[in-house]
Structures are given as C-alpha cells and as structure tokens.
Amino acid sequence: MGHDELDAALAGLDWERQGDVLVKVVRRDDFAGALALVNAVGELAEAADHHPDIDIRWNTVTLRLTTHSAGGLTAKDLALAAEIDGLLEQGIA
Amino acid sequence: MGHDELDAALAGLDWERQGDVLVKVVRRDDFAGALALVNAVGELAEAADHHPDIDIRWNTVTLRLTTHSAGGLTAKDLALAAEIDGLLEQGIA
C-alpha cells in the first residue's frame, strides 16, 4: 500500500497511526463496559481472522492493529479498523 | 503486609512477582480461548471489585495485579491471584 493510499484511508478512520501500528483508545463507564467492548471487537476480529492487540485497564481499552506477518499496515488493518469504528458509532458496545 | 508474610503467600501462588506487581501469563489454543479466559477472570474481578490489568495478544493473556491506591501489593491482590489460579486449575477457562 502506497503512502498516499494509506493516508487517504487513514483520514476516514478514528484511529491514531503510530509508525506501523493503528491505535485506538476507548473509555467506558467501568470494567464491565470495557469487557463488553472487548467481546464485541473480538467477534469482528474472529470474523475477519485478524486480531488487534488488546489492553484492558479497568474502564479503558487500547486496541492496536498491525499485520505482523507483512511487517506493517495492510488493507486488513484498515478494514478491521473501519469495522470497529462502525461498531462504536452504532453504539453497539 | 510484611516481607515474610508476602513471601509466604507468594510461595503458594503460580504468579511471578515483578516489584509491586504480580504477573501471570496464560496461553490458550487461539484467540477465542484467550477471550474465554479473560471473561472468566473478569467475573472473578467483578465479584472481588478488584481488576487486574489484562493484555491480550491473540492466544496469550497477561494479567497484572497490584493495588494502585495502596501503592503496592495487598491482600486483595493475593486473594484474587489465588482465585484465578483456582479457576485455571479447575480447567474452567
């Protein structure tokens, strides 16, 4: 994926790029809310067969997407990032 | 909690002490197994009103217990660590 193509895709996403990783931090009211979010993201991840790194700190979930096997960001990361944004925009988790 | 008391409690636990934090790394067959483990640990955490930091890396879950409000390890950490060990020994998750 070229730089321009990647930049264009990123512009439509609510994720921060840190080098070869897309990062998204989501806060919920409490641990139960955070865990519900993780399970919803997990369903999308399983369906995509692509899994973000997930850190849970009580009510705060940090998601990190990259494609280790490709050594950088790929279309799989962008697609799953967009799906997760959709999940959150719909208020599903 | 004194050093001797803490050492005695730690000897019965399958956790590694790293300074003021108890750390446990658990591997499962896949992401679904890891997420099931996180949910089971989450139930214990909610019941105890004490929540480990949880990192999910596909099939690998890292749990970290400490009591931030007390600036170190407390009986709450040791109790929840023992409960999580029990969960794993029983093969529940």
Q: Is the torsion defined by CA of A62, A70, A50, B26 positive or negative?
A: negative
Neighbouring C-beta atoms of residue B40, cutoff 10 Å: 15
Statement: residue B5 has pLDDT above 90: no
Contact B56 A57 (CB under 8 A): no
Contact B57 A55 (CB under 8 A): no
Neighbouring C-beta atoms of residue A11, cutoff 10 Å: 7
ipTM: 0.94
Residues belonging to chain A: 93
- The pLDDT value recorded for residue A93 is 72
Q: Which of B31, B42, B45 sits opposite A51 (nearest CB)?
A: B31
Average pLDDT of chain B to the nearest whole number: 94
**Stated pTM of the model:** 0.94
- The pLDDT value recorded for residue A82 is 97
Q: How confident is the model at residue B36 (pLDDT cuts 50, 70, 90)?
A: very high
**Distance from C-alpha of B78 to C-alpha of A33, rounded to nearest angstrom:** 25
Tell me the three state secondary structure of residue A84: helix
- The pLDDT value recorded for residue A50 is 97
Contact A56 B35 (CB under 8 A): no
- The pLDDT value recorded for residue B13 is 96
Closest CA in chain A for residue B56: A54
Mean pLDDT value across residues B25-47: 98
Calculate the alpha carbon distances from B68 to A36, A82, B74, B76 in Å: 24, 35, 10, 11
**Distance from C-alpha of B53 to C-alpha of B68, rounded to nearest angstrom:** 11
- The pLDDT value recorded for residue B39 is 98
Task: List residues bridging with B55 in a β-sheet.
Answer: A55, B62
- The pLDDT value recorded for residue A83 is 97
Mean pLDDT value across residues B76-80: 96
pLDDT in single tens digits along all 93 residues of chain A: 777 888 888 999 999 999 999 999 999 999 999 999 999 999 999 999 999 999 999 999 999 999 988 889 999 999 999 999 999 998 877
The count of CB pairs under 8 A between chains A and B is 39
Q: Which of B31, B39, B56 sits opposite A46 (nearest CB)?
A: B31
